[in-house]
Structure 1
């Protein structure tokens, strides 16, 4: 069954998401990161390229030819078919239509009220669908 992790009260969502992507990559798990739009995708891609001084987080857009051999896919505003049993890092305001298709879903929730409202709605929907949900309050982390 798909495990869903909500990381709430995140001070810097982009920094946190880069660390999460790095962690999933180091575990050898394929990852799909869904962002709200193309501009957000480009900004996040740049953040991944410059995330660490000596680390490398290989990624590309999901529809590019090199996606077949790239462990991290980026998508803008859509949850592509064929993502298989990847881990989903959801940075989009949308919820996947088929959440059970992912091995795990990571939901990052900022400190602003709009993020919290969206997260509450998603949490209820995942709960209604019977998913295994875990909550991690990140307010105490830097």
Structure 2
């Protein structure tokens, strides 16, 4: 069954998301990063390129010709064949979350992010998913 991980109290969600994407990539897992829209997708892609001078996280748009062989795919709309790990940076729960082995949710400290996260948490819990909580308040991004 799909495992859901909520990382809460994250100081810099965008930076944390890039680091989390790198961690999943290093573990050899296929990752889909779901973003709210194409503008957010472009911004996240730029952040991945600028993560570090010596770090490279191979990624592309889910519709790119190289998507099938690229370990990290960025999507504003989830494809039906998405599987593996999902980093949900969008505003809602994905349709058919069970197609993913794991879903990663990052929650910042602002009220809007907290409210949206509470709704997603309740939706996952109602559907019977196992949820792990990681309090990041004492860790740096």
The TM-score, its normalising length taken from structure 1, stands at 0.96
Partner of 1:38: 38
Aligned pair partner of 1:103 in 101, 104, 113: 101
Residue in 2 that maps onto 1:113: 111
Distance 2:79 2:138 in 1: 34
1:23 Cα deviation after fit: 0.3
1:136 match: 134
**How far 1:94 sits from its partner (Å)?**
1.8
Runs of 4+ in 1 over 2 A off after TM superposition: none
SS of 1:135's equivalent in the other structure is strand
Kindly provide the CA deviation profile for residues 57-111 of structure 1, in whole angstroms up to 9, marking residues without a partner as x. 00000011100110000011x2211113x10000000210110000100000110
Q: Give the unaligned 5+ runs of structure 2.
A: none
Deviation at 1:50, TM superposition (A): 1.2
1:13 deviates by: 0.6
Structure 1 unmatched ranges of 5 or more: none
Specify the alignment match of 1:54 in structure 2: 54
Q: Distance in 1 between matches of 2:37 and 2:11?
A: 21
State the match for 2:65 in structure 1: 65
User: Number of matched residues?
Assistant: 140
Question: Structure 1: how far apart are the matches of 2:123 and 2:93?
Answer: 9
CA distance in 2, matches of 1:122, 1:50: 30
Q: TM-score, normalised by structure 2?
A: 0.97
